[in-house]
Amino acid sequence: MRLTAFTDFGLRTLMYLASLEEEQLSSVSEVASIYNVSQNHMVKVIGQLAKLGYVQTIRGKNGGIRLAMKPADINIGDVIAKMENHLDGVDCISTSCQLIPCCELKHALAEAMNAFLDTMRRYTLADLVANKSELIPLMVAR
Amino acid sequence: MRLTAFTDFGLRTLMYLASLEEEQLSSVSEVASIYNVSQNHMVKVIGQLAKLGYVQTIRGKNGGIRLAMKPADINIGDVIAKMENHLDGVDCISTSCQLIPCCELKHALAEAMNAFLDTMRRYTLADLVANKSELIPLMVAR
């Protein structure tokens, strides 16, 4: 059971941006290169983060991307809930499951998924980069 | 965020077997046909359920498969914990994530995954097929 790659890289992008100095700009290609994923995929991830108001994109020659909110104001449970397409735990529809009309599994999974999100809602982006001082030398060393 | 297809079909197999009469036998091909998945995949899923002691396989001409335990004794959280390979939420290793040495995300995800499993541990297989009477006509109608 894992987050989709889309959400996963969304969270890592936010963590990376939070590790930079407050006004420092990064770029899609920089984030893609750090995490060794395709720039195309990162365009979509960062586009969604911008649409959701977490990331600010500044156009032009000296443009780039940065956090649009303070790390302490970015709730990780909310980021996951907004980025994940599938918070149902199982795919009942595309498998045409015969159990759909009377299945209790999906209710149990919905309850468990809420417990997962409630736990993640106790964290902000600031908590995830609390040891920022250890993070920066790693980024510089790459 | 979803269970792997392996766990998902493991749970559905258990639900189907629990919907049958106590000593009634089913077969890998029957379960594969109900859920419209390949028999090869189902051999692996049911093999693992047997290895874990949830399913009994009876060899020979009149052989088949059935539950090896009472539905009320099969804890759904435990089934998920035993069937899922990846309960870490994100794949840090194969992406060679630079954040590994100081990442707080994986701790938060581990805590949230425990909350998910704890919720699922409140359910047994008997709870999931509580409305068995609605389930049986569906199976017969196929």
Structural domain boundaries enclosing B92: 5-138
Give me the CATH number covering residue A94.
1.10.10.10
Domains identified in chain A, total number: 1
pLDDT recorded at residue B97: 61
pLDDT recorded at residue B139: 58
Q: Look at residue B142 and give its three-state secondary structure.
A: coil
Say which residue, A4 or B123, is predicted with more confidence. Answer: B123
Confidence of residue A1 (pLDDT cuts 50, 70, 90): confident
pLDDT recorded at residue A142: 47
* A60 min Cα distance to partner chain B (Å): 29
pTM, to two decimals: 0.85
Task: Considering only the beta carbons, identify the residue of A1, A97, A109 that sits closest to B87.
Answer: A1
Contacts of A31 (CB under 8 A, 6+ apart): A13, A16, A17, A42, A46, A65
Contact B2 A91 (CB under 8 A): yes
Q: What is the mean pLDDT of residues A3-20?
A: 91
Beta bridge partners of B67: B55
Contacts of B34 (CB under 8 A, 6+ apart): A98, B16, B139, B142
Does this complex have an ipTM over 0.90? no
Cα A65 to Cα A54: distance, rounded to the nearest angstrom? 10
Q: What is the mean pLDDT of residues A116-123?
A: 96
Q: Is B33 on the interface with A (CB under 8 A)?
A: no
Say which residue, A71 or A87, is predicted with more confidence. Answer: A71
Contact B2 A86 (CB under 8 A): yes
Which of A86-90, A95-99, B41-45, B132-136 has the least mean pLDDT? A95-99
Q: What is the mean pLDDT of residues A103-123?
A: 91
pLDDT at B136 over 50: yes
Q: What is the mean pLDDT of residues B16-40?
A: 90
Contact yes or no for A50/A95 (Cβ under 8 A): no
